[in-house]
């Protein structure tokens, strides 16, 4: 096969979120199938690390597509022209965008439809573009991979896509538990940890309020470590961090940290109380580090965690505060979370995701 790959999200120095998903799946397909040729389509200079084998042919199609009208030009004019020239059999587009002006069959990965449900996640012109075209992307793609059953159902409910068109292939994690006993970031105290960007959907303000409530009720020395950048519309989060009763016990780390597995491994719990996710990778990272997880009892978080985490109503500050208390005082709960977390982690594999993806590419070519 001659496989085209939309690699515009494989940016220098970034291997998280959607970029991580594309990197892990495509790297495996390239390595496992040397008989196929993969044409990578970048929109800017790329890192050599992303050229995974001699069967990769990289192309740069400028200009960098980071604005709605440039997205339109890149996907609907530049990409079809180049793919036609390269004799592409099938296109894998892992970032949720598709070309509306090509007859080449496309396999689209849909990570979430948060933009259909929330108005405050991105710039207004980006939001208008996604709400105008995302449905058409899903309709145009010959096949869709959803990262969770929750996301699959959302696609069916929101866009009316037939279930048989959607396969599920989830995220995974390569993170490993750390043997290093290091709590220097909190001067030796016990702590909870949150990993992820900081925006309204992540429910950070309620998490801070729950931490305050827990501290006030139980007079503990626990800290709250928040690792993540202040993202879109984070003003309320900044205010909550400043005005928290126990703000001196909250440590906010904005810069990326290479020892994040050590931070998670030494925490009393990983807290992930998001209001909406397509998957929820930090849940798996908690499992991988043998750390109890507190997460939301809704959507993909409940699907990924199942019985391996303490699940709470993300709208209830009281429930979250009580979960903090349970995980710090009940040894049985902690041990069960660790044991069941390891078991649950085994259900997710980048190898399986890559195999599912490749098989779907084969199916599309056979059915042309």
pTM of the model: 0.93
Given a cut of 90, whether residue 228 has pLDDT beyond it is no
Report d(CA 362, CA 17) in Å as an integer. 26
Would you say 110 and 96 are in contact if contact means Cβ atoms under 8 Å apart?
Answer: yes
For residue range 114-141, list pLDDT tens digits in order: 999 988 777 788 899 999 999 999 999 9
Mean pLDDT of 47-59: 97
In sequence order, which residues have a C-beta less than 8 Å from that of residue 340 and are 6 or more positions away?
Answer: 306, 307, 308
Tell which wins on pLDDT, 36 or 257.
36
For residue range 255-281, list pLDDT tens digits in order: 767 789 999 999 999 999 999 999 999
Report d(CA 141, CA 94) in Å as an integer. 12
The gap from C-alpha 60 to its chain's centroid, in whole angstroms, comes to: 26
For residue range 304-326, list pLDDT tens digits in order: 999 999 999 999 999 999 999 99
Catalogue all structural domains in the chain, each as residue range(s) with its CATH number.
2-172+349-366 (3.40.50.2000), 184-345 (3.40.50.2000)
Beta sheet of 2-6, edge-to-edge order: 56-60, 37-42, 2-6, 90-93, 106-110, 143-146, 166-168
* Closest-CA residue to 71 (of 146, 134, 135, 4): 134
């Amino acid at each position: 096969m001659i496989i085209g790959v939309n690699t515009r999200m494989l940016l220098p120095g970034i291997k998280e979120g959607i970029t991580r998903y594309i990197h892990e799946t495509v790297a495996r397909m390239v390595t496992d199938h040397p008989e196929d040729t993969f044409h990578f389509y970048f929109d800017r200079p790329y890192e050599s690390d992303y050229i995974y084998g001699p069967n990769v042919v990289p192309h740069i199609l400028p200009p960098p597509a980071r604005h709605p009208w440039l997205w339109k030009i890149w996907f609907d004019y530049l990409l079809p022209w180049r793919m036609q020239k390269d004799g592409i059999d099938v296109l894998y587009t892992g970032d949720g965008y598709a070309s509306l002006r090509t007859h080449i069959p496309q396999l689209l990965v849909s990570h979430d439809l948060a933009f259909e449900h929330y108005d405050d996640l991105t710039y207004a012109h980006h939001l208008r573009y996604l709400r105008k075209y995302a449905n058409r992307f899903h309709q145009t793609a010959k096949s869709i991979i959803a990262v969770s059953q929750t996301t699959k159902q959302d696609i069916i409910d929101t866009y009316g896509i037939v279930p048989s068109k959607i396969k599920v292939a989830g995220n995974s994690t390569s993170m490993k538990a750390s043997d290093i006993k290091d709590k220097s970031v909190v001067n030796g105290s016990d702590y909870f940890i949150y990993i992820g960007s900081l925006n309204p959907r992540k429910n950070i303000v309620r998490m801070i309020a729950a931490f305050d409530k827990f501290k006030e009720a139980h007079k503990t020395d626990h800290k709250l470590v928040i690792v993540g950048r202040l993202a879109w519309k984070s003003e309320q989060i900044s205010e909550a961090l400043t005005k928290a009763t126990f703000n001196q016990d909250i440590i906010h780390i904005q810069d990326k940290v290479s020892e994040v597995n050590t931070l998670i491994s030494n925490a009393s719990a990983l807290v992930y109380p998001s209001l909406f996710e397509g998957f929820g990778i930090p849940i798996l990272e908690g499992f991988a580090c043998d750390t109890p997880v507190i997460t939301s009892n809704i959507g993909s978080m409940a699907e990924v965690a199942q019985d391996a985490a303490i699940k709470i109503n993300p709208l209830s500050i009281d429930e979250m505060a009580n979960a903090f208390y349970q995980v710090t005082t009940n040894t049985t709960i902690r041990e069960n979370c660790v044991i069941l977390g390891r078991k649950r982690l085994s259900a997710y594999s980048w190898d399986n995701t890559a195999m599912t993806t490749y098989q779907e590419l084969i199916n599309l070519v056979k059915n042309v």
